[in-house]
Amino acid sequence: MTLFCCKTLERRVEGRTLLGPLDLKIKPGLMTAILGHNGSGKSTLLKVLARQDCPDAGEVHFRGQPIKSWPIRDFARKLAWLPQNPTAAPGMTLRELVGLGRFPWHGLLGRRSVKDRIACEEAMELTGTTALADRLVDTLSGGERQRGWIAMLLAQGAEVMLLDEPVSALDIAHQIEVMELLRRLNRQRSLSVIMVLHDLNLAMGWCDEAVALHGGKLAAHCPIAGLHDPELLGELYGLEFETITWRDTRLAMPRRLFASEADVT
């Protein structure tokens, strides 16, 4: 079954087209990177898929049904969404934050069950945050906090995660930590992960496929190996690229990084 199917999707603001027209199908069970230059429509597409934004034209289907036909709670039990800048959680422990993930199952005032508690504990164990459970969220490091948010999404019990730039504010060590965590969850739990990324090499190292946007339109939808094409990368980012192999890993580098001092001056 197709996870998402978009047909002639468009999103416009004040007469300006941010996205589309776009036709796209995304399969379940994959790590999918949404890539493109700033303003290419990446976050707009993710918000439409997460039902955080409404398209101005076209259709979006989720698991074979029109996305707008899904009851809110049923949709939240299937899909979890993490924006680029999550709401602050002042005075809240990580355990309490993770517990918010159970909202689709019992509502805001519903009594939490043993099943809820087990789901939260399992989510913290999977993300390596159990030891942080009683810490205040705003005292955690960036990487710890991001793993806490992912634990909240896991506690939600959803089969699909949509993440908007989940590693952009992290140092390289924590970026790799989060990408490895998402990859492990994808492989061990068949979790579908769709995320906006800026770093091509993180996408190449951990994702299965790429959705590449340029000027709001679909420039490519391909297995991640398709990013090894310097011509495609040049079209996406307006730079000349080289793709290199290092220890059996493909990397993409702008040619300007290899410019000699004479070339620069």
Question: What stretch of H or E contains 59?
Answer: strand 57-62
Whether residue 251 is predicted with pLDDT greater than 60 in this model: the reply is yes
CA atoms of 107 and 102, how far apart (whole Å): 8
For residues 33 and 203, the answer to whether their CB atoms sit within 8 Å is yes
Q: Phi, psi at residue 85, to the nearest 5°?
A: -125, 85
- pLDDT above 90: percentage of residues in the chain: 72
Answering whether pTM is above 0.75, one says yes
CA atoms of 135 and 109, how far apart (whole Å): 24
Number of neighbouring beta carbons within 10 Å of residue 69: 10
Mean pLDDT value across residues 183-210: 94
Residues linked to residue 251 through DSSP beta bridges, in sequence order: 244
For the chain, give every domain's residue range: 4-226
Largest Cα separation within the chain, whole Å, is 69
For residues 48 and 9, the answer to whether their CB atoms sit within 8 Å is yes
Split at pLDDT 50, 70, 90, the class of 263 is: low
Instruction: Work out the burial of residue 189: count CB atoms within 10 Å of its CB; fewer than 13 is exposed, 13-18 middle, 19 or more buried.
Output: exposed
Split at pLDDT 50, 70, 90, the class of 108 is: low
Return the pLDDT at 233.
92
Residue in the structure block whose two tokens are 């939808």: 221
Would strands 4-13 and 65-66 be described as parallel, antiparallel, or unpaired? unpaired
Instruction: Work out the burial of residue 79: count CB atoms within 10 Å of its CB; fewer than 13 is exposed, 13-18 middle, 19 or more buried.
Output: buried
Mean pLDDT value across residues 185-196: 95
Whether residue 264 is predicted with pLDDT greater than 50 in this model: the reply is no
Residue in the structure block whose two tokens are 């809820």: 116
For residues 49 and 162, the answer to whether their CB atoms sit within 8 Å is yes
CATH (residue range 4-226): 3.40.50.300
Return the pLDDT at 244.
82
For residues 80 and 101, the answer to whether their CB atoms sit within 8 Å is yes
SS3 54: coil
CA atoms of 229 and 242, how far apart (whole Å): 9
Least confident range of 31-40, 63-72, 98-107, 213-222: 98-107
Using alpha carbons, select from 192, 197, 226, 196 the residue that is nearest to residue 209.
226
